[in-house]
Amino acid sequence: MASVKYIEANGTEHVVTVHGEISAMKAAVLNGVPGIDGDCGGSAACATCHVYVDPSWIGKTGAAENETERTMLEFTSIATETSRLACQITITEALDGLVLHLPEQQF
């Protein structure tokens, strides 16, 4: 079990408890967190689950290293070095307390 905090661009916080190992995209969608769309179902093919990993957590989640993920992030004009696709972050107990910031909108 792990807890993930999603923070909207306007500061609204959503804390989701995750049971089992699922992606941060799926956890958000299943719990009604606004601002994560997941148009492709989690295959890194649409870039509509773009999040900014809180800098204090990027060491644990890792940066986007997979070429597919990096390519998709390039489609979003607002990507930074802590940008990830939430569908490519698997929530494990090691990520308990993870903080993800949401962009103003998915493109």
| Residues contributing to the site for another protein (CB under 8 A) | 20-22, 29-30, 32-43, 45-46, 48, 68, 106-107
CB of residue 58 vs another protein: minimum separation in angstroms?
A: 25
Comparing CA positions, the residue from 58, 54, 30 lying closest to residue 42 is: 30
Look-up of token digits 């999603």 = 6
d(CA 11, CA 2): 22
Which H or E run contains 7? strand 2-7
Which of 37, 101 has the CB closer to another protein? 37
d(CA 103, CA 2): 23
CB of residue 103 vs another protein: minimum separation in angstroms?
A: 13
CB of residue 93 vs another protein: minimum separation in angstroms?
A: 15
Which of 48, 83 has the CB closer to another protein? 48
d(CA 65, CA 85): 11
Which of 21, 74 has the CB closer to another protein? 21
Which of 48, 61 has the CB closer to another protein? 48
